[in-house]
């Protein structure tokens, strides 16, 4: 029964992919109908793919329940389509389409809407766990019991069940901004990544990184950093990225002498940062197109993400290099030839095989065409559609890259597997956003937080960081961003932060929640591959990704790192260069302090001086009249590195 259910996923995924490609580029349906069909196909795959409980995956009764839920999804979401599309006008209740029945709904509307909410909650529970469904239920209870709440819990007059169903399912809510972003942008890029993977992009990226670093110290770890960063730009998912590239890179790192938890931690930290790498990035980047005010273009988001991504991966490479210098001996820097596990043999073959040039050409053509179409003014969904077509055309010229009909269907199936959890999550987030709109809590929460930090921007940033990390522990980073951007983001805007910088701040910490213990989903995935302890791997990933917790403060305080001036315009080039220089210096010092190694082992007092220097370079203003502070800090840092380089000689001279 389980196998039969899984065979249905392929045709549903193909229909989903073809529908999105057609409807996004050449829309025929009403917006709500298109989203309802999109959500219907996604939830069908969820109920076919995820059992009620993992231990009951082979239970025949449970699988029949799954098929019943699939049929229920078709009924509930099909009802929305029928009651919205003019072609079904003769089936409209009372002769009025659903959008015009607000406050005058038929009783059947409420039954369908209520059951639809239950289906969404259950699908989300299966796909990503309990956290988001529980949060949605709390919001639904808040909407109903609002008039009984104490003053500190944002009371309101309370709403009937019918009004709540109307707001969250029938008119907006589920079919709102979250699902629209997934439909218009995210799934297309998931599909784009799936096709690139079928052409051999994964092996090409890893081989390219392997050739770049050769036999340098800790080279497999550096391959993991660069390879995961580039692959993360394709998938936008830290967990999916870890599972994909970690299968190759983690065994490689272990064969070089890295401890299992360290290998897993490096991979998780590198994969988590992939969502910031242009030009594709994570789902939150596309959400910014809908949320940031004043509105921004996709090219502006790519431009803003470029320098932070470079700084993050530069820091990660340095930390990995310093860590390898400190912990690996010369012998361990040579790949072991006697590896025995299948995974390690696969990794060895991957790095030693000749890199097909055609795979590189396909990979390059995909990114070049995407950027060219964006520069020509095409919308992101139109640009990725044309880029996908270019990939298919270029790939036919070589047997190693040729996709073919079977490969196309498999790519669409992989996209279905990868994207449905986000479809379920976006639908569930829509419930929360519907309640936020209905009750007005979105405007009440910032009014409470603002007085706590209205005189201290750093405190406001710290509170927002903690809130985002806690919420992101059980949610996908894109979902976490969406909730925090709407609920708490206005606090930063009221404090005078450049809007796009404020949204990037939230985006970064939503991403960092993937490697923040105790719930670090990317680290959990890496631990499973590395066969290491979950908490040990999570703390290792947290340590390697620490620079990601400092960078957001830097580009909020220095929006020039996002190519923005303090008034939101374009800064002068020399101002960008100055800010980039000081942030890069701080990043190098921070990397040495985290790894505990520069030229030699770093002592406790050296680390303390390094971290003080980092704090000054990150947080001190870069105004010309205060530049002497940075100058003195730089001199102190140079002294520490010089002392670290020669401290054995200095100690010997002092002793003699």
Please name the residue that has the structure tokens 């995956």: 57
Residue 287: pLDDT band (50, 70, 90) is: confident
Q: How far apart are CA 590 and CA 595, in angstroms?
A: 9
The top-scoring range by mean pLDDT among 493-497, 615-619, 652-656 is: 615-619
The structure's pTM equals 0.72
Please state the rounded mean pLDDT for residues 557-581. Answer: 86
pLDDT of residue 73: 97
Counts of helices then strands in the chain (DSSP H, E): 29, 0
Q: What is the DSSP letter of 156?
A: -
The top-scoring range by mean pLDDT among 317-331, 481-495, 561-575 is: 561-575
Residue 215: pLDDT band (50, 70, 90) is: low
pLDDT at 5 over 60: no
pLDDT of residue 353: 44
C-alpha R_g of the chain = 26
pLDDT of residue 11: 93
Indicate if the alpha-carbon torsion angle 573, 578, 581, 584 is positive or negative: negative
**Residue scoring higher pLDDT (461 or 48):** 48
Indicate if the alpha-carbon torsion angle 80, 85, 87, 93 is positive or negative: positive
pLDDT at 410 over 70: yes
Three-class SS of residue 597? strand
Per-residue pLDDT of 299-345, as tens digits, reads: 888 888 889 889 999 999 999 989 888 887 543 444 443 333 333 44
How far is residue 434 from each of residues 108, 118, 589, measured CA to CA in Å?
Answer: 20, 15, 46
pLDDT at 472 over 70: no
Share of the chain above pLDDT 90, in %: 23
Give CA angle at 120 (116, 121), nearest 5°.
Answer: 120
pLDDT of residue 492: 74
Quick one: which of 40, 45, 122 has its CA closest to 77? 40
Among 446-450, 462-466, 517-521, 578-582, which stretch is predicted with the lowest mean pLDDT? 446-450
Residue 165: pLDDT band (50, 70, 90) is: very high
Please state the rounded mean pLDDT for residues 10-39. Answer: 94
Three-class SS of residue 601? strand
The average confidence (pLDDT) of the chain is 82
Q: How far apart are CA 580 and CA 388, in angstroms?
A: 34
Residues 6 or more apart whose CB falls under 8 angstroms from that of 95 comprise 89
**Residue scoring higher pLDDT (20 or 546):** 20
Tell me if 376 sits within 8 A of 299, measured CB to CB. no
Residue 656: pLDDT band (50, 70, 90) is: very low
Please state the rounded mean pLDDT for residues 122-129. Answer: 90
pLDDT at 649 over 60: no
Q: What is the DSSP letter of 602?
A: P
- What contacts 24+ positions apart, CB below 8 Å, involve 12-16? 12/41, 12/44, 12/45, 12/48, 12/416, 13/45, 13/412, 13/413, 13/415, 13/416, 13/417, 14/409, 14/412, 14/413, 15/41, 16/41, 16/42, 16/45, 16/187, 16/412, 16/415, 16/416
Indicate if the alpha-carbon torsion angle 318, 320, 321, 325 is positive or negative: positive
Indicate if the alpha-carbon torsion angle 40, 45, 48, 54 is positive or negative: negative
Note the residue count of the chain.
656
Please state the rounded mean pLDDT for residues 593-612. Answer: 88
pLDDT of residue 449: 64
Give CA angle at 265 (481, 224), nearest 5°.
Answer: 90
Please name the residue that has the structure tokens 């937080």: 449
pLDDT at 91 over 70: yes
Per-residue pLDDT of 423-442, as tens digits, reads: 898 899 889 888 988 988 76
**Residue scoring higher pLDDT (478 or 277):** 277
Among 242-251, 392-401, 604-613, which stretch is predicted with the lowest mean pLDDT? 242-251
**What is the separation of C-alpha 634 from the centre of its chain, rounded to a whole number of angstroms?**
34
pLDDT of residue 332: 40
Domain extent listing, the chain = 572-656
- Return phi, psi of residue 103, to 5°: 70, 0
Tell me if 197 sits within 8 A of 48, measured CB to CB. no
Q: Which two tokens stand for residue 9?
A: 């996923």
**Residue scoring higher pLDDT (481 or 316):** 316
């Amino acid at each position: 029964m389980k196998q039969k259910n899984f065979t249905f996923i392929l045709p549903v995924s193909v229909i989903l992919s073809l529908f999105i490609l057609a409807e996004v580029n050449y829309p025929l349906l009403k917006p709500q109908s298109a989203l309802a069909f999109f959500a219907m196909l996604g939830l069908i795959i969820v109920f076919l793919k995820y059992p009620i409980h993992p231990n009951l995956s082979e239970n025949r009764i449970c699988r029949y329940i799954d098929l019943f839920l699939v049929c229920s999804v078709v009924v509930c979401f099909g009802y929305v389509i029928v009651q919205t599309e003019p072609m079904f006008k003769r089936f409209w209740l009372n002769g009025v389409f659903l959008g015009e029945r607000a406050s005058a709904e038929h009783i059947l509307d409420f039954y369908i809407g209520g059951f639809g909410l239950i289906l969404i909650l259950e699908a989300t529970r299966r796909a990503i766990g309990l956290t988001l469904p529980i949060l949605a239920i709390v919001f639904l209870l808040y909407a109903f019991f609002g008039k009984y709440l104490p003053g500190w819990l944002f009371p309101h007059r309370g709403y009937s069940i019918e009004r709540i169903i109307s707001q969250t399912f029938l008119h907006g809510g589920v079919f709102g901004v979250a699902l629209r972003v997934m439909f218009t942008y995210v799934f297309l890029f998931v599909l784009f990544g799936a096709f690139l993977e079928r052409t051999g992009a994964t092996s090409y990226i890893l081989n390219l990184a392997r050739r770049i670093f050769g036999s340098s110290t800790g080279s497999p770890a550096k391959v993991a950093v660069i390879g995961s960063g580039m692959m993360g730009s394709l998938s936008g998912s830290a967990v999916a990225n870890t599972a994909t590239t970690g299968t190759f890179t983690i065994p490689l790192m272990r064969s070089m002498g890295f401890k299992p938890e360290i290998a897993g931690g490096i991979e998780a930290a590198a994969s988590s940062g992939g969502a910031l790498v242009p030009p594709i990035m994570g789902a939150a980047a596309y959400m910014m197109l809908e949320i940031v005010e004043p509105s921004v273009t996709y090219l502006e988001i790519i431009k803003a993400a470029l320098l932070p991504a470079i700084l993050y991966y530069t820091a990660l490479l340095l930390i990995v290099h310093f860590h390898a210098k400190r912990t690996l001996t010369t012998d361990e820097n040579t790949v072991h030839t006697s590896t025995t596990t299948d995974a390690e043999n696969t990794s060895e073959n991957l790095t030693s095989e000749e890199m097909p040039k055609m795979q590189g050409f396909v990979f390059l053509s995909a990114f070049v065409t995407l950027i060219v179409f964006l520069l020509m003014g095409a919308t992101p969904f139109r640009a990725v559609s044309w880029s996908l077509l270019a990939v298919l055309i270029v790939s036919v010229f070589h047997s190693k890259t040729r996709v073919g009909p079977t490969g196309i269907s498999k790519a669409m199936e992989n996209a279905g597997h990868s994207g449905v959890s986000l479809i379920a999550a976006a639908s569930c987030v829509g419930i929360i956003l519907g309640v936020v709109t209905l009750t007005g809590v979105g405007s009440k929460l910032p009014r409470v937080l603002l007085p706590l930090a209205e005189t201290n921007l750093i405190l406001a940033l710290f509170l927002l960081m903690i809130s985002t990390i806690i919420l992101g522990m059980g949610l996908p980073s894109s979902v976490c961003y969406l909730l925090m951007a709407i609920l708490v983001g206005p606090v930063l805007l009221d404090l005078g932060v450049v809007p796009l910088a404020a949204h990037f701040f939230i985006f970064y910490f939503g991403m960092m929640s993937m490697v923040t213990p105790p719930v670090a989903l990317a680290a959990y995935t890496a631990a499973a591959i590395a066969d290491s302890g979950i908490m040990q791997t999570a703390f290792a990933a947290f340590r390697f990704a620490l620079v990601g917790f400092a960078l957001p403060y830097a580009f909020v305080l220095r929006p020039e790192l996002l190519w923005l001036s303090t008034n939101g315009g374009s800064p002068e080039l020399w101002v960008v260069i100055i800010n980039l220089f000081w942030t890069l210096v701080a990043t190098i010092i921070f990397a040495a302090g985290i790894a505990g190694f520069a030229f030699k082992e770093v002592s406790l007092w050296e680390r303390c001086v390094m971290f003080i220097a980092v704090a000054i370079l990150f947080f001190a203003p870069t105004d010309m009249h205060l530049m002497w502070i940075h100058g003195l800090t730089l001199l102190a840092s140079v002294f520490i590195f010089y002392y670290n380089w020669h401290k054995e000689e200095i100690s010997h001279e002092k002793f003699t």
